[in-house]
Amino acid sequence: MPLLQVKNLCTYFKKDAGALSKLFGRGTKIVRAVDGISFNIEERETFGLVGESGCGKTTVGNSVLRLVEPTSGKIFFEGKDLLNMGDKELHKFRLKAQLISQNARSSLNPRMNVGEILSEPFEIHKVTNYEDEIEEKVCNLLKIVGLSPDDANKYPHEFSGGEARRITVARALALHPKLVVADEPTSGLDVSITAQVINLMLEMQNKFGLAYLWISHNLHIIKHISDKIAVMYLGKIVEMGSRENIFQNPLHPYTQALFSSVPDVMSKKKEKIILEGEVPSPINPPTGCRFSPRCWQVNPLCKSKEPKLIEIENCHWVACHRCKT
């Protein structure tokens, strides 16, 4: 049984129009951040979620942890229905599924020192009543992520970007979760620090048997660490499959354009697919296939009918009318 099952997840946000706009008939706008997504994550697996800004990948991460209430769809964690859980069960769920936010610095309370930040998971879930034990656990956590126990007295602003990231990783792992949603864990970090953080996260995965929902726009990293990958565009998954299938044989035009745009060191300078225009707004997605306005292989069917995610080969799904062979 997969650790996480997501079926037809939709998360919409309401963008309230001001009073004057309502007067003129322009009602509340709906931002369809996530519009019908289905995928599974197995235990100990790394599921890479790729896409550019506005595609909804961060919202997927937040919805899966119920930090944002999904509008419709089903999410099963360890077989239990997540969206219909009571408060107590939800509290227990939080023990098993954690979040590593995109910006490490701003996800640390600037007025709490590291010791307090790392004690918080233990205090919230009342793991133990003895302060000494909590202190011991905090010191252990710091050691595991490569920091020193003395750092517990320091404040977040005293740390570099990479170190702040390590602290957030430590906090996420404090309660030995089974699933960690890592939202751009290496964004803003230097090349050498990125390598250190990735190594740390791989080590943690091996040690604690974690599954990652790894959200990133950095294709090199996704290629390196993922077992399965899904490519998102404007709230929908356009292509999904095993790492080998996706990288060796990208079928969806957006995936192809994305891969070709990434600057690659020492690559032979090949013809790039340069996309025209900008990503449209998720408030008014285009009719039919959402990528059709920018697709160079578009035909009339694409503009009228939305393609479904179909399994093209074993562990490779595409949502494109042209990829039916």
Partner 1 sequence: MVDNKKGNKHFLQILNSFKKKKHQQLKNIVRIFSIILKDRKGILGVTIIGIILCCAIFSPWIAPCDPYEQEIANRFAAPSLKHLLGTDNLGRDILSRIIYGARIAMTVSIGGVSVAVVVGVLLGTIAGYNAGRVIDNGILWIVDVIRAFPQIILILVLVAVLGPSTLNMIMVLALTAMPRYTRVARAETLSIKEEEYIFAAKSLGAKNKRIILKHIIPNILPPIIILAGVDMAVMIMIEAGLSFLGLGVRPPTASWGIILRYGYRYIRLSPWMIIWSSIAIAMAMLGYSLFAESLRIALNPKDSIEKQAGV
Partner 2 sequence: MGKELLSIKNLIVEYLTIRGKVRVVNKVNLTINKGEVLCLVGESGCGKSTLGLSILQLLPESGKIINGQIIMKGQNLLELPEKTMNEKIRGKEIAMIAQDPQRSLNPVFKVGDQIIDVLRFHEGNRDQRDRSTKNTLQPSRRKALWKQKAINMLDKMGIADAGDRIREYPYQFSGGMKQRVVATMAFISNPSMLIADEPTTALDVTIQAQIINLLKDLIKEYKTAVLYITHDLGVAWEISDQIAVMYAGSIVESANTESLFKKREHPYTEALLGCLPGNMMRNKTQKKHLNTIPGQVPNLIKPPSGCRFHPRCPYSMRICKEQQPILREVSPGHSVACFKKESR
Q: Give the interface segment with partner 2, choosing from 7-15, 121-129, 164-172, 190-198 (CB under 8 A).
A: 190-198
Alpha-carbon torsion 140, 145, 146, 147, what sign? Answer: negative
* 88 contributes a contact to partner 1 by CB under 8 A: no
Q: How far is the CB of 197 from partner 2 (least distance, A)?
A: 10
Q: Which of 17, 198, 298, 323 binds partner 2 (CB under 8 A)?
A: 198
Draw the binding track, 213-252, toward partner 2 (x: CB under 8 A; -: no contact): ----x-xxx-xxx------------------x--------
Q: Indicate the DSSP class of residue 142.
A: H
d(CA 278, CA 100): 29
* 52 contributes a contact to partner 1 by CB under 8 A: no
H-assigned helices in 108-228: 114-124, 131-144, 161-173, 191-208, 219-225
* 105 contributes a contact to partner 2 by CB under 8 A: no
Residue closer to partner 2 by CB (options 46, 98) is 46
Q: Which of 125, 217, 223, 322 binds partner 1 (CB under 8 A)?
A: 125
Residue 56: C-alpha distances to residues 28, 87, 116, 263, 294 (Å): 20, 26, 32, 23, 18
Q: How far is the CB of 198 from partner 2 (least distance, A)?
A: 6
Q: Give the interface segment with partner 2, choosing from 12-20, 207-215, 274-282, 315-323 (CB under 8 A).
A: 274-282
Q: Give the interface segment with partner 2, choosing from 60-68, 115-123, 270-278, 295-303 (CB under 8 A).
A: 270-278
Strand order in the sheet with 4-15: 29-41, 4-15, 72-77, 80-81
Which of the listed partners (partner 1, partner 2, none) does 196 bind, with a CB threshold of 5 to 8 Å by partner kind? Answer: partner 2
Q: Which of 54, 121, 162, 185 binds partner 1 (CB under 8 A)?
A: 121
Question: HSE of 278 in the Cβ direction (CA atoms, 13 Å)?
Answer: 5
d(CA 305, CA 258): 23
* 269 contributes a contact to partner 1 by CB under 8 A: no
Which positions ≥6 away from 156 have C-beta within 8 Å? 105, 108, 109, 110, 112, 114, 117, 164, 167
